[in-house]
Amino acid sequence: MTTRPLRLGTRGSALALTQSGMIADELTAATGRAVELVRILTPGDTSSVPVAQLGVGVFVSALRDALLAGEIDFAVHSYKDLPTGEYPRLHIAAVPRREDPRDALVARDGRTLADLPPGSVIGTGAVRRIAQLRALGLELQVTPIRGNVDTRISRVLGPEADLDAVVIARAGVARLGRAAEITETLDPMLMLPAPAQGALAVECRSDDADLVELLATLDHAPTRAAVCAERSLLATLEAGCDAPVAAYARLVRGGLADSAHRDGHGDEMIHLRGAVISPDGVRAIRLSRTGTPAGAAEIGKALAADLLDAGADTLMGSTE
């Protein structure tokens, strides 16, 4: 008897299709199961309203509805798009190895952030990035933008370019094969990433035990632990929180760290950095904590409590 292909739900953007195709190929290589992509249109794909106004989960709700309706078997999300709350009847079966989570600059004439002249117009879609750019005091004009990776880069390098630079997630640019156009990968000391940036979440129905087990072959334990710590911090801060929140967890061993790319053995520790920045960039609270991968969620909760104790709640109510 022939086993039917698994139906993988995906948004229709170039990046979503690339990410989903990558996961499909990895699953087929690991298990032998064929996978077909099913495109799902989400409200976030049809609106030009800034993401911050659309709300958390705008890119994933339609995929989750299709999962629960049995129209698809599993879905691939950019993990940072997922709301932090538990979702009934669905399960994150795998968190594959993470791409570089840092932010990247694409600028005219190969410039770095420090090379941009005062008054340069720099575009980005995230309030978190806007706040941190303002905090640098570089006299840049920062403007919010929407659009996919190709659209954003075209506003700097295209024939009708109207920006001097954009800041976008390095992971998406790399996955689309355009890393050569990045003029600077931004040090997290300057630009702390969003929680779960660069990571993917592979989700299916929780009652599909066979598929849960099958998809688990794609899970990368160090990435899952790092993302768990970052999202736990976000979840703890999220009640009433509209301020920019950043978090970046790395696995540390023997004084060296990487971006959750080790094998998860030995005496590794998680080093988590978190920040809450006022939207105008004037005030910021940046703290860190270290703990074991097994306690990833607790590290995130504890660091969030530290941030709140340091006054992060006063930044959460800041307005421009």
Please identify every residue annotated as catalytic.
81
CB atoms within 10 A of CB 312: 24
CA atoms of 95 and 74, how far apart (whole Å): 13
At 109, is the secondary structure helix, strand, or coil? helix
- Look at residue 273 and give its three-state secondary structure: strand
Q: Is the CA virtual torsion 53, 57, 62, 63 positive or negative?
A: positive
What are the angstrom distances between the C-alpha of 319 and each of 121, 123, 242, 269, 277? Answer: 22, 20, 9, 37, 11
Q: Which two tokens stand for residue 69?
A: 């309706």
- In the structure encoding, which two tokens stand for residue 66, read together? 């299709």
Distance CA 288, CA 306 (A): 9
Segment holding 143, helix H or strand E = strand 141-144
Taking alpha carbons only, the member of 102, 60, 99, 98 closest to residue 81 is 60
Chain centroid to CA 173: 13
Q: What is the DSSP letter of 106?
A: E
**Reduced to 3 states, what is the DSSP secondary structure of residue 271?**
strand
